[in-house]
Structure 1
Amino acid sequence: MKFSKLFFIGMAMATLTACGGTEETAEVAAPVAEVAAPVAAETEEPVRDLGGLVVTIASWADIKEPEEKKSAQEEALWEYRHEMMEKHNFGFEELALSKWDGTLELMSTSVLAGDPAAEIFRFNANYNGSAKESGLAYDLASLDSIDLTDAKWSQSLIEMMSDGDKVYGLSLFDRPKRLIFFNKRLFEEAGLDPELLYDLQASGDWTWDAFMEISEKLTRDTDNDGINDTYALIMNQTTFAQAATFSNGSSYVAVDENGDYINNLVSPESMAALEWCADYWATDFDIRPEHWNGHKDLFMSGGAAMYIGEEWESTNFTQEAMPDDWGMVVFPKGPSADNYVVVYNEKAWVIPNSYTKEEAEDIAFALNLWTEPTPGYDEPDSWMTAQYPVYRDPRAVEETLVIARDPEVMMSDYALFIASKVRTSQAAEDVYWNRATPAEAVEAQVGIWQAELDKLNAK
């Protein structure tokens, strides 16, 4: 453990010892007189001194304390962090020690050389599987200094990073993917209530059928020249097909009862999703941008009423002053799903297993403190405070994000475990471009996928 790195050179750590208590008397059966009960001393739990440890997270970007805080909450957060670092005598930093796709190599080479480059390694979602299967990750479930059931941790990521009772990575809630942003002006111009999608989502009637019906109404030829002037959806076929598959209660890759990874693209639910996608693509409800990266710009300019994106993109729509008012809902649920499904591709934090139990406990203790909610803003709904300025209406926060943060609807994408070797979107691409039927497209991928899954299961 790197105890030689000191976060504050002049930091003096006061050892807190306090004893106190009050005398209590109790009536004791005695033949002569009442007898005073022994004095019970109450001792405060001693402060855990980490001995100047600086915990470094190896990442692909430096995360530093901002000189100017954006809010009272951010100010309070950093005050709390400094208080904890001083109290427990430790430092904390996140440094760009590798590229986004180089963390695994950095961890492997440094750990095997006996000198870990960091106490914690942050992995892009595409490499979570490799980190889990590397044999170099510490079992976090064996540590006492961190509670994996704490509501702040993503349970979907913990499940993904688990092998039986062992857990090799964790993450806070990340920002969800595959949400639908919608242009309220275009809804009104099509004769639809601009709050319609919120209302359908709230009632549980936001389904594939409703999506199809609304798409038809939103696709309009306003000047009767035979060419659509507005469309229902900005189309990215890869994103659309994945969202549809998950929304029908399925996935591309799943884990069976033996803990083996299996091809779930062949499941009835996945096949139904791809067939529904083919039906949607057979309509004229969607439009593609001229440039491969122009989907967001086309939505912001009013080219279509709906756009499937990631939750963080809400910041762009607000900061870039999208002229039209907009809202955000989850993807509609398919006929095989009991509830809405929201996709998460979180970035895992991994502690190398080269550290001793004592060292790993200290690292986990520091990480747990660093990720604690801001005091004064730690009520169950306090997270909403920072979200309101990012949206145009409160329903996106109080309804959509509440749904998205429900562990019951959160799902991680296990297909990322083979994404570096397999083009997992190939079946959807072949259907979209009319190169194959859904059944033919899936069948063409079975052998390719199985070869990589076999390798993964053999580790």
Structure 2
Amino acid sequence: MKRRIAEKVLALSLAAAMMAGMAGCGNNDGGSAPGSEGGSSAGTEQSGEEQSSDAGQESGSEEGSAEGEGGNEGGEEAPEEASMPDVITDSDGNPIDLGGMEIIVRDWWTPDEETEPANSFEEAKEEYLDWAQSTYNFTIKQVAVSTWDSAPEDFVNYATTGGDENYVFVLRQGQELVAAMNSGLMYDLGSLDCLDFTEDKWKDGVNKMLSKGDAVYGMRGITPEGRGGMYFNKRLLEEAGIKPDSIYDLQENMEWTWDKFEEICSQVQADTDNDGVIDRYAMVCITQDFYPMAVWSNGGEFIGMDENGKYVNRLESSETIEALNWSLDMIDRFNKVFDSEAAWDYGYTAFANGEGVFIPQETYKAGDWEDMADDFGFVCFPMGPKMQDYTNCYTDNVMVIPACYDAEKAWKIAFAYNLFTDPVPGWEDYNESWKSDYYEKFRDTESVDLTMARMVENGMVTYHTFIPGLDLGADVYWNINKDNTPAQQAETIRNTWAAYLEEANK
């Protein structure tokens, strides 16, 4: 399998080479920098991001990798003689001058060290950033300043007291982020005319999630991360008489549905030695991983946002209730029953040991199964009856500017970050730089080229992590069963959630 992946990378490089040969902290009133004509130079850097339950991570052209996956840029050859973008000028016709600002995009994973470009894309990116920094008189880099644990508190402390530094903070999604936003600690990015949030590089919806009316408090100008999908054990499928590649065929033919998944689960689950005990389970999932993916796959969600920008309870929607009922049935029929004393990661270990065919999990887990004896594949979570396409839920980290900066400083920092995330000249249509590191973690190229490529382009956002007090485990997952249906639990928790939403909507 590793050879296939190496051949894939080589093929990409050769194809690109052939193409090249044919190519010829203060007021929050915002606004433009003094003398500026405004305007945007937005684009997108190609990258991936992954975030586990205990450590948010990102990767990409300007973003390194934490402990899970990364986003080393692809190895394609650059087009010849790519020209730099038009220079953005002030009212006197001179290039915008950022006055030699040193800007830090501060995260918790990027090492503070210089690295040589690994391929043509990285060389072109370095050339572009050198041009941008020289043209507009600034420097910018992304580097770990905080830790994963300290990042929220570090931001609150800095945004409260201020400082001379020029920071873009990276923060993980969740209730701490919302508390900081509601406390007025984040600059209103919607007031800065150097940012145009209609452009494609903001498509993961971070700016939408961090919006109140016309105000925007968070951004992320890089490719969103493919998130949760369904891993499958190829050996166990073959033993059950199913060709592993047929799962990819189902996905590509838009036939990878709940019904088809259920059919395959019925076929693969078996007592192979006829001792009366099932020894090949269809699923070895952790239930709290299955529930939300099923909900999203059916067009449901737990907390949504209405047309007025207000959080709303969608637990009782038909899409969500249908998904939770189906999940209960699938788990009851096909999931391995684990001992109550099992470790928290029992499902991951069982899948690695070949005890079950399927496990729903996020993309970063592929790197944790490097030593797994069996080959595995990865497809989207099967499509629910209310949907016409597969989807996954983006939960990307968020970039914010402290509200303690005055309007001029905030504008300049945002202008620089916009340049930092612009497309590399000549590579505007290159959308595969995030793939390289994933090829090293998955066992086949289809997981990346067919599944993750689809997930990166087709995702959704949701809002339950933004509601203080709300806990899906305690409020929903751990209470639903045959005797207490999802609809009954939704009614039980309705008033509690109404109080949470009332407070959040203030």
TM > 0.5 fold call:
yes
Q: Which residue of 2 aligns with 1:297?
A: 349
Q: Is the 8 A contact 1:54 1:92 kept in 2?
A: yes
Once residues 57 and 305 of structure 1 are traced to their aligned partners in structure 2, the CA distance between those partners, rounded to angstroms, is: 41
Matching of residues 239-250 of structure 1 within 5 Å: 239-250=289-300
Give the letter aligned to residue 258 of structure 1: N
Equivalent residue number for residue 431 of structure 1: 480
Structure 2 counterpart of 1:115, one-letter code: G
Name the SS of the counterpart of 1:136 in structure 2: coil
Measured in 1, the distance between the counterparts of 2:118 and 2:197 equals 30
Match of 2:385 in 1: 335
Greater mean alpha carbon deviation, residues 156-165 or residues 262-271: 156-165
Distance 1:44 1:364 in 2: 14
Q: Deviations over 1:233-262 (max 9, x none)?
A: 221111111111111111010112332211
Task: State how 1:223-372 maps to structure 2 within 5 Å.
Answer: 223-288=273-338, 290-317=342-369, 320-372=370-422
Correspondence for 2:76: none
For 2:244 and 2:490, the matched residues in 1 are separated by 38
**Pairwise mapping of residues 26-45 of structure 1 onto structure 2 (< 5 A)?**
none
Would the aligned equivalents of 2:224 and 2:456 in 1 still touch at CA under 8 Å?
no
Offset of residue 210 of structure 1? 1.2
The structure whose RCO (Cα within 8 Å, separation 6+) is larger is 2
Query: In the alignment, which of 219, 224, 249 is matched to residue 170 of structure 1?
Result: 219
SS at match of 2:98: coil
Where does the alignment leave 5 or more consecutive residues of structure 1 unmatched?
2-41
Structure 2 Cα separation of the partners of residues 362 and 181 of structure 1: 44
Corresponding residue of 2:444 = 393
Equivalent residues of 1:332, 1:340 under 8 A apart: yes
Q: 1:382 to 1:245 in 2, by over 3 A?
A: closer
Residue number in structure 1 paired with 2:139: 91
Distance 1:274 1:382 in 2: 35
Q: Deviations over 1:207-244 (max 9, x none)?
A: 11111111111212111111222212221111111111
TM-score normalised to structure 1 length: 0.81
Please give the alpha-carbon distance, in whole angstroms, between the structure 2 residues aligned to 1:341 and 1:390. Answer: 22
1:414 aligns with 2:463: yes
- Match of residue 156 from structure 2: 108
Task: From the CA coordinates, give the structure whose radius of gyration is larger.
Answer: 1
Q: CA deviation at 1:161?
A: 1.6
Structure 1 116/228 Cα, relative in aligned 2: closer, same or farther at 3 Å? Answer: farther
Secondary structure of 1:425 counterpart: helix
- 2:172 corresponds to: 124
- Is 1:211 the counterpart of 2:261? The answer is yes
C-alpha distance in structure 1 between counterparts of 2:440 and 2:382, whole Å: 25
Aligned residues: 413
**Secondary structure of residue in 1 paired with 2:201:** coil
Please name the residue that 1:60 is paired with: 108
* Kept in 2: contact 1:206–1:332 (CA 8 A): yes
| 447-456 or 147-156, larger mean C-alpha shift | 147-156
- Aligned partners of 1:79 and 1:183: how far apart in 2? 43
Deviations 1:393-426 (A, max 9, x none): 33222321232122xx3112300012x5222123
Q: For residues 50 and 392 of structure 1, do their structure 2 counterparts lie closer, same or farther at Cα, with a shift above 3 Å needed?
A: same
- AA partner of residue 258 (structure 2): W
Give the Cα–Cα distance (whole angstroms) in 1 for the partners of residues 366 and 290 of structure 2: 18
| Contact 1:271–1:439, Cα closer than 8 Å, also in 2 | yes
The alignment partner of 1:254 has SS state of: strand
Distance change in 2, residues 1:134/1:67 (3 Å): same
1:456 aligns with 2:499: no
Structure 1 residue 381: deviation in Å? Answer: 3.2
1:191 maps to which residue? Answer: 241
Work out the percentage of aligned pairs sharing the same amino acid.
Answer: 34
Q: Aligned with 2:417: secondary structure?
A: helix
Change over 3 Å in CA distance of 1:313–1:175 after alignment to 2: farther
Verify the 8 A CA contact 1:178 1:243 in the aligned structure 2.
Answer: yes
Q: Which residue of 1 aligns with 2:230?
A: 180
Stretch deviating more after TM superposition (164-173 or 245-254): 164-173
Counterpart amino acid of residue 347 in structure 2? H
Q: For the residues of structure 2 that align with 1:288 and 1:447, how far apart are their CA atoms? A: 33
Shift of residue 83, structure 1, vs aligned partner = 4.5
Bigger mean CA deviation after superposition, 301-310 or 341-350: 301-310
What SS does structure 1 have at the residue aligned with 2:200? coil
Amino acid at match of 1:162: S
- Pair 1:184–1:44, CA change in 2 (3 A): closer
Secondary structure of the residue that 2:282 maps to in structure 1? strand
Secondary structure, counterpart of 1:329 in structure 2:
strand
Over 3 Å counting, the alpha-carbon distance change for 1:72 and 1:297 in structure 2 is farther
- The answer to whether the 8 A contact 2:109-2:143 is kept is yes
Residue 156, structure 1, aligned to residue 208, structure 2: no
Cα pair distance change 1:251/1:299, threshold 3 Å = same
Aligned residue for 1:119, secondary structure, equals strand
User: Shift in Å at residue 132 of structure 1?
Assistant: 3.6
In structure 1, the partner of 2:195 is 146
Q: Which residue of 1 aligns with 2:81?
A: none
Q: Which amino acid aligns with 1:398?
A: D
Contact 1:384 1:397 in 2 (8 A): no
**Conserved? CA contact 2:232–2:358, under 8 Å:** yes
Give yes or no for the alignment of 1:135 onto 2:184: yes
Q: Name the counterpart of 1:402.
A: 453
Deviation at 1:435, TM superposition (A): 6.5
RMSD: 2.9
